Amino acid sequence: MQQALALAAKGAELGEVPVGALVVLNGEIIGEGFNQPISSSDPSAHAEVKALRDAASRQNNYRLPGATLYVTIEPCTMCFGTLIHARIARLVYGAAEPRAGVVASQLQLAEKTFFNHKIEVEGGVMAAEAGALVREFFQKRR
């Protein structure tokens, strides 16, 4: 999660909301990303999606079975759906996202039984640090 936080800080330097993500498989980082929708003019360029794209490219496979995605903030609907499609085994996130987070805060999508894949979830890892990054980012913008 420390490395995901460092990626989030990199995004903040570019004026992006500070969210960072890593994909880990067998103890090795196979993908990384940070929020880039503004700088890339791509609404889908969330940290999770960037990390998954990087990992899938490196693995030469759009499926990433057995992999864990670490992300600093609870994922949104788009990102959670992408995790399902990539067959991520485990999601570890930092701070909750009370308005748009769909793992625990809003829709509890990880608990739904209609998906054809189940993701193990652990939330609250380094939540204080991840939350502080986002709060400080928005305080500076006001």
- Block residue for tokens 């420390």: 2
User: 15 pairs with which residues across the strands?
Assistant: none
Cβ-based neighbours of 82, under 8 Å, separated by 6 or more: 48, 49, 52
Catalytic hit among 16, 32, 48, 74 = 48
Kindly give the interhelix angle for 47-59 and 2-13, rounded to the nearest 10 degrees.
Answer: 120
CA distances from 15 to 40, 54, 84 (A): 12, 21, 29
Question: Is 32 part of the annotated catalytic residue set?
Answer: no
The Cα 49–Cα 55 span in angstroms is: 10
Q: Report the chain's C-alpha Rg in angstroms.
A: 14
Question: What is the DSSP secondary structure assignment for residue 107, as one 8-state letter?
Answer: S
Among 41, 42, 110, which residue's Cα sits nearest to residue 75? 110
Active site residues: 48
